[in-house]
A and B are shown apart, each in its own frame.
Chain A
Amino acid sequence: MNRKLFSFGSGPFFRYHAATLTVYPMLLLFLAVALQHPIFLLMLLAVSVLAVWRGGGLSAFGTILRYAWPLLLLIVVLNVLVSKDGATVLWIGPNLFLLGKIRLTMEALLFSGVMVVRMLIVLAAGALFVAWLSPDRSLGLLGRIARRSAVTAMMTTRLAPYLAEQSEQIGDVLRTRGVRLDQGGPVQRIAARKPMVSVLLISALEGSWQVAEAMEARGYGMGRRTSYTRERWSRRDGLAWAAMTAAVWLTVQSAWSGWSEFVFYPRLIGWPFAGGAWIAALVLGTLLLVPPLFAKRSRR
């Protein structure tokens, strides 16, 4: 049934403020993008995977990877094939159409590996966000910042399952009227669905009028509005935010003092890793582990 497609199910509830749960994955994302030092990125990846595990999103992460592996492969192949800036040549290939001479360099290989790590962190951050913050809570948070937009989005989440159900009924009605939805070639079958989309559109527009009226009957005007929330700020959040602030500070400090400096082309600079890099990366990882480690889940 289509209904199932449009229900969130009630996942676990994490005892953090929704803002904490939103900012943490975003922080991972930004750090992944801001840094390009292999040690730092590997540390971030380890932390992200741990966090995803704590957040109960490992299986979702797996699903994402199943779709994303061609992208990861593309990152490696393209970087290795196209980049001609590396100095340490490992292998010289044939002359390819449009690409010119293929030069496989160690720098490009390492760069593509690091970029794959970066992409993995990004994907993990996405999986974490979905896993530990339910759509209701994230929309609720949006409601704190952008009230009208949040109302619009929530209405859409409410209307989508209704329209999905309606579209099933519409299909039934049309079939009993003699529309054959599954006969003929693809174009014919797509054309046969035209009445379905028409009815759906007209009904949705008609319904929107009634919904708007119901909204006005409950005082939705053009003035300001407040926003209802159950989110509570706890000491746990304070700890998480302290750790995250420290992590940001450390990242800036590392960039300032050159610990996280790493240049790939034409020759690797920063290799082998200086002691500062190791220590900074370790401390950064530890700081970032704090929020997921103190995450506590409860059923509601």
Chain B
Amino acid sequence: MTRYDLQLEQFTYRYPDAPRLTLDRIDWQVERGEFVLLAGPSGCGKSTLLRALNGLVPEFYGGEIGGRALFRGRPLAEFPNRSIARHVGMVFQDPEKQLVMSEVEREIAFGLENLLVPESEMRRRVAEVMSFFDLTALRHRATADLSGGEKQKVAIAAVMALQPDVLLLDEPTSQLDPGAAQEILDLIKRMNEELGLTVVLVEQRLDRVLHLADRIVAMHEGRIDYDGEPQGFARYASEQRPELLPPVTKLFADAGRPERPLTVKAARQTVASLAGVRPAADPNGGESDKRSLSRFFRNVRRMFRGGESEGAMFEARDVRYAYPDGEEVLKGLDLDILPGRLTAILGPNGAGKSTMLRHLIALLKPQEGRVRIDGQETSCLDPADLAGKVGYLSQYPADYLFHETLRAECEFSRRLIGLPVGTEEAEREIDAVLDGLGLLAARDRNPRDLSGGERQRAALATVLVQRPDALLLDEPTRGLDSGQKDRLGAWLSRFVEDGGTVILITHDVEFAAEYAQEVVLLDDGEAVAHGAPQEMLARGLFFAPQTGRVFRGVDDRIVRLADGVAALRNLAGEEESR
């Protein structure tokens, strides 16, 4: 008996019609009971590797294959008719697209039915799994009525009912909000520790999982680039793939420090020891002159504006809104969004963020109070009237893409609001938008063939070719890897610099801290606070970026990574000079 649960031997794979290999001669093993984290940028082949471990690649996808994959020394090809599911379970990214049955209990039994588990045994296992995952209260609920987190939990439970030895997870939390994501990750850890389950996890947000894993594997262009323990990974990534680093580690790497802390706690300790026991530094100490200058100008501008509603592009006054089922979501919302700024709206689930955003694009009309966009009341506006002025990017980029080519998609957008298409000028404009988003090469491709991050940019392109002054984005960072996030942030910043206005609602505090100029905190249907990220996010308990957490008590005005880097350099400099 081998000590490995899973083995790949010279595993090579090419998807049908793909130009190049997705996996290139991979030799790799997973030991029994291990918790392995699989990292890498989008498109590096980590999802494919995961699918190779339970035979979906190549059984489901077809294509060309070389080498072999083994489970406990037995080639996967020897498990006929998907019976490998008994040993290797897999949970996918999107909870909506992996639930098959209409009722929770039946969903859990689905896999057992496939594997011909006898009836009495089936009932026992269903009961056990439901108890372990605390699902008994949901047993008769329709799967469609569950929340995203609950759906993902049911999906995991349904796989665990098969009592597999290995669990493969493909970004199981990328579609969930932070609270639900944490719950799922805790669950995975518990299964690994209590049940001795071997876990292979693909995850985009490494900061949430680095401390859980025994081993980290980084992939790059179809090959394994790093394979080892977490500390070594931090060193490897800061040297070769800085985009893989979690924010805290990146902070130290960028500041040129030798330490590579992986958790906020470790980072805080380092910072505290650097700062010594002296009191908090001067709040602006870590900032460059340029930045404090810009803050000065902003304050001056604010002073001149006087009354807050002057010049606001979006304005909500005492807005109340209740859904037909009677639940009041907005309870007297007051909000002013200034033009030419990037405003991030944060808030817990159910605070009314999406409802508010839908009011700002006239998809919903206030039942009480009023909403004005550029001075115009929305109550008599059709959302279509705003097209070309205010662009809206929903959480689901795929909803924007249904034409044969990306160019046709953009032309459809322009035609809708009467902009010319087909002329040289129009072509140039479309090309310019696509080029700015790095999509020029994809212009004549079917937009549905693009990857997740590209799809989002394609959707953004269809909005931008209408030349909007303002952009409203709903959870734009969901499902993006950190490189894609950086690119999106940089792009949005440029849009704002060119005079555009951006409002985004997000759960991603890091992203808000890094790129927003204004932060609005929404709670229970009201805007409870509004200000610059430095004021809003610094001493937050929940809405605090990791950089801010690291410097808590040392310098409470730091929320951005760059500020943190500067502060860290400063601290280090002081220490040396002392």
Which residues of A are in contact with B by a Cβ distance under 8 Å? 1, 3-4, 6-8, 10, 135-136, 139-140, 147, 151, 154-155, 157-158, 161-162, 166, 169-170, 172-173, 175-180, 195, 198-199, 202-203, 206-207, 210-230, 300
Question: A139 and B102 in contact (CB under 8 A), knowing A217-B89, A219-B114?
Answer: yes
Q: Which of B60, B387, B398 contacts A176 (CB 8 A)?
A: B387
- Measured CB to CB, the closest approach of chain B to A163, in angstroms, equals 10
Bound-state Cα–Cα, A185 to B382, Å: 17
A176 touching B142 in the complex, CB below 8 Å, given contacts A136-B103, A207-B97, A214-B92: no
Interface-central residue, A172, A207, A222, by most chain B CB under 10 Å: A172
**A-facing residues in B389-407 (Cβ within 8 Å):** 390-392, 394, 396, 398-402
User: Which residues from B are CB-within-8-Å of A178?
Assistant: 384, 387-388, 413, 416-417, 466
Across the interface, which residues of B come within 8 angstroms of A198, CB to CB?
402
Q: How many A-B residue pairs have CB under 8 A?
A: 192
Chain B residues whose CB sits within 8 angstroms of the CB of A220 once the complex forms: 82, 110-111, 114
B316 at the interface (CB under 8 A from A): no
Contact with A along B75-106 (1 / 0, CB 8 A): 00000111111100110101011111111011
Main secondary structure of the interface of A (DSSP, over half): helix
Name the interface size band of chain B.
35 or more
Contacts of B86 in A (CB 8 A): 219
* Chain A CB within 8 A of B9 CB: no
Cα–Cα, bound, A8→B390 (Å): 39
Q: Determine whether the beta carbon of A176 is less than 8 Å from that of B119.
A: no
Q: Are B82 and A175 in contact (CB under 8 A)?
A: no
Contact yes or no, A218 B162, CB < 8 A = yes
Is B304 an interface residue, CB under 8 A from the partner?
no
A-B contact pairs, 5 of them (CB 8 A): A4-B325, A172-B363, A172-B394, A175-B383, A221-B80
CB 8 Å contact bits of B361-402 with A (1 = contact, 0 = none): 101000000000000000000111011101110101011111
Please give, as numbers and ranges, the residues of chain A lying within 8 Å of B412 by CB-CB distance.
Answer: 195
Q: Would you call B249 an interface residue if the criterion is a C-beta within 8 Å of the partner chain's C-beta atoms? A: no
Residues in A with CB closer than 8 Å to B413 are: 177-178
In contact, B100 and A175 (Cβ under 8 angstroms)? no
A177 & B98 in contact (Cβ 8 Å cutoff):
no
Q: In the assembly, what is the distance between CA of A167 and CA of B508, in Å?
A: 27
Q: Are B325 and A1 in contact (CB under 8 A)?
A: yes
Contacts of B123 in A (CB 8 A): 228, 230
Please measure, in the bound complex, the distance between the C-alpha atom of A4 and the C-alpha atom of B324, giving whole angstroms.
11
Q: What is the CA–CA distance of A218 and B84 in the complex, to the nearest angstrom?
A: 9
In the bound complex, do residue B60 and residue A206 qualify as a contact, i.e. CB atoms below 8 Å apart?
A: no
Once A161-B142, A217-B92 are accepted as A-B contacts, the answer to whether A225 and B325 lie under 8 Å apart by CB is no
Complex Cα distance, B144 from A3, in Å, reads: 9
Residue of A166, A175, A217, A228 near B56 (CB, 8 A) is A217
With A10-B140, A158-B100, A170-B399 in contact, do A206 and B416 touch (Cβ < 8 Å)? no
Q: Are A217 and B142 in contact (CB under 8 A)?
A: no
Q: How far apart are A209's CB and chain B's nearest CB, in angstroms?
A: 9
Query: How close is B57's CB to chain A, nearest CB, in angstroms?
Result: 10
Inter-chain CA distance A227–B117, complex, in Å, is: 9
Q: B97 contacts A210, CB within 8 Å?
A: yes
Assembled-state Cα–Cα distance A198/B394 (Å): 18
| Residue pair A223, B81 in contact (C-beta under 8 Å) | yes
Partner of A158, one of B102, B117, B462: B102
* From B158, B358, B391, contact of A172 by CB (8 A): B358
For the complex formed, measure the closest distance between the CB of A52 and the CB atoms of chain B, giving whole angstroms.
24
Q: Chain B 146-173 against A: per-residue CB contact (8 Å), 1 yes, 0 no?
A: 0000000001001100100000000000
B residues 103-154 near A (Cβ < 8 Å) are: 103, 105-106, 109-119, 122-123, 126, 140, 142-145
Residues in B with CB closer than 8 Å to A222 are 81
* Pair A218/B140 contact, Cβ less than 8 Å: no
**A178-B388, A218-B159 are contacts. A169–B394 as well, Cβ < 8 Å?**
yes
**In the bound complex, do residue B118 and residue A226 qualify as a contact, i.e. CB atoms below 8 Å apart?**
yes
A-B pairs, top 7 by smallest CB distance, nearest first, are A178-B387, A219-B85, A178-B416, A228-B109, A214-B98, A221-B81, A218-B111
Contact of A226 among B106, B119, B143 (CB under 8 A): B119
| Nearest CB in chain B to that of A201: its residue | B402
Indicate whether A1 sits within 8 Å of B323 (C-beta atoms), given known contacts A173-B392, A176-B386, A176-B392: yes
Residues from chain A with Cβ under 8 Å of B54 in the complex: 217
CB distance from A146 to the nearest CB of B (A): 13
Q: Is B448 an interface residue (CB 8 A)?
A: yes
A158 & B110 in contact (Cβ 8 Å cutoff): no
A151 vs B155: C-alpha distance when bound (angstroms): 17
